[in-house]
A and B are shown apart, each in its own frame.
Chain A
């Protein structure tokens, strides 16, 4: 299956160079791959994965290990940020 994976703010440093201008990367994943699996595959610091969204919906920390990604979904992650 394929998903779109997006990293923003300081986390974009974990993207390959070719993906930095869009903040997005298409990933080919095995069925059953979870949010936590992707976080670990990219070696993202756990404490930096503050805002984790699948198709814009928040995935709380306690659900990330169990939440399997589905074909066509977009996974987007931010470190702690704020604005106004």
Chain B
């Protein structure tokens, strides 16, 4: 269905669940999911709030196309003030949880306060209640999901939960649903843990409805699916090779951050690539990759399901990890691999399994290990500090540190604070590779200039999913631009950011944008949703959302100084590849971007811009 027009408000402090009508005026201005939940959030929460205090709120939210027959219409997002960043956080996940929440009849759940003891929220259609989670506290996400399904005697209950990382205050903890999908970034799971909220279990049987024009909607979604099927990327490339196919591409382009961004090319990139996942292992004759997988309603199916080598040192005598499970995706493979100089595919899969099992972001974790390895290399951290030798390239250190971080043991506690705080603590803040205390993803902005601006200005800290100019600068989608120049990147970044905000607010997956433009989703939204959803309106909604998030961050205390990159990327030129000799031109692009956005020299939206957007 499109909007269910119902919000579930859960007061964790007092243990109450209350239904209230969705603000339909806001729905017309912000569409749903990321945009609409952010509007609720900024309207109810003090921007200066401590992210881990009861006064912070956490919203789980669907889009109007979540749960519908639209391809990839299974997304949900978690909006809060990020534990890692202190900025607005919006983490998006696939799987089946979002659609189930919609089937139960809810557009969003607003959690407020803090429960005096561990609880989980149980939803069955209209019925919502908080239940004791004492028996689940201390358990992994995998055990939590299984236990809840057994308790409810219903294998079709959909569960999202935090693992031990979220309980232990790892600042980049995720919320994991359907075993290996996650609202992954910015520490949304840490906020959930701070509220003593272990999980949400939902079962919905109300089905789809409230589509404005069902006939037009089915025609529009069928047309959209045809485009996805006939497109070489979404119809063949992504289902066959997954996101991991980028490993060799980005390495050849000299934009694969390696050993904490000391290098831009990794000598073992091929060993951890999509191509390697398709090869038979000498140990057991099996391929690492078992199959691809799809989230709810998805006709792309980019997900990877793999089986680890049972003879690998990380899982010897650990049969619980021998089954087929999620991974590796490109970002995780990069962060756990190239970022640390580790070229052992099985070790990466093990670390990735631990991240899924106990719910923490492999990007921030891997990048933090990379920073720790550099501190070790410089002699600032000793083996006695870490509990082991931890040189770049050590697969054993990576695997052991993943386990220690999951359970909050020894140096794992320090890794759990993220690279910014870790490097600050050891007197080397410049060695943290991130923006707004969130670690970079898998693209070095010396080799892909536009991504430097996208990272610096991302409202949730360094992130590739707020403005993925890689599509244009590397892949030629929708048009090819030169990755090595700064010219034209301000407008490109703004266009990607605004369009992404619309995709993220619709209930659809951003990966459709490799084949679809806004013009492909506009007829789907317009047929499903009350109101007149023109291209002009959608473009305005995207820009409005971006500025709303910006306003929250400014009120939270962020300034133009935070729209910046670490000194390494501005002063240490790339050593090899096409970008050899180049640094990122952020200082040139930033003022151009501010002008493009209608912001003043300090990065604040002008009165005219705010008025134009109705803010």
Contact = CB atoms under 8 A, between A and B. Distances in A.
Interface of A: 6, 8-10, 12, 21-23, 47, 50-51, 53, 55-58, 60, 74, 76, 78-84
Given A50-B476, A51-B475, A84 B248 contact: no
Given A22-B270, A56-B577, A81 B476 contact: no
A15 B237 CA distance: 18
Contacts of B578: 55-57
B518 interface: no
A28 to B, nearest CB: 22
B580 to A, nearest CB: 9
A78 B232 CA distance: 12
Nearest first, the 9 closest Cβ-Cβ pairs linking A and B are A83-B243, A83-B246, A80-B232, A56-B578, A81-B237, A81-B245, A82-B514, A83-B330, A82-B233
A74 B291 CA distance: 32
Nearest to B441: A84
Of the listed residues A79, A83, A84, the one surrounded by the most CB atoms of chain B closer than 10 A to its CB is A83
A76 B274 contact: no
Size class of B's contact patch?
A: 35 or more
A9 B465 CA distance: 24
Nearest to A10: B240
A8 B330 contact: no
Nearest to A8: B248
Nearest to B245: A81
B381 interface: no
6 contacts: A8-B248, A55-B578, A56-B252, A58-B482, A83-B249, A84-B470
A9 B237 CA distance: 8
Contact of A51 (B330, B476, B482): B476
Contacts of A79: 232, 236-237
B377 interface: no
A51 B249 contact: yes
Nearest to B576: A56
Interface of B: 231-234, 236-238, 240-246, 248-249, 252-254, 270, 274-275, 279, 330-331, 464-465, 468, 470-471, 474-477, 480, 482, 510-511, 514, 577-578
A8 B275 contact: yes
A80 B511 contact: no
B240 A82 contact: no
Given A9-B241, A82-B471, A56 B465 contact: no
A9 B274 contact: yes
A9 B253 CA distance: 16
Contacts of B511: 82, 84
Nearest to B474: A51
B501 to A, nearest CB: 16
A8 B480 contact: no
Given A56-B252, A79-B237, A84 B480 contact: no
Contacts of A83: 238, 242-246, 249, 330
Given A9-B245, A9-B275, A80 B233 contact: yes
B271 to A, nearest CB: 10
A63 B309 CA distance: 44
Given A81-B245, A83-B246, 10 more contacts: A8-B275, A9-B237, A9-B245, A21-B279, A58-B480, A74-B252, A80-B233, A81-B249, A82-B246, A83-B245
B464 A53 contact: no
A82 B249 CA distance: 10
A53 B471 contact: no
A21 B253 CA distance: 20
Contacts of B279: 21
B568 to A, nearest CB: 21
A80 B237 contact: yes
B232 A53 contact: no
Contacts of B233: 80-82
B275 A12 contact: yes
Contacts of A47: 232
A76 B253 CA distance: 10
A80 B245 CA distance: 10
A81 B253 contact: no
A84 B275 contact: no
B330 A56 contact: no
B253 A56 contact: yes
A8 B236 CA distance: 14
Contacts of A81: 233, 237-238, 241, 245-246, 249, 475
A76 B241 contact: no
B334 to A, nearest CB: 10
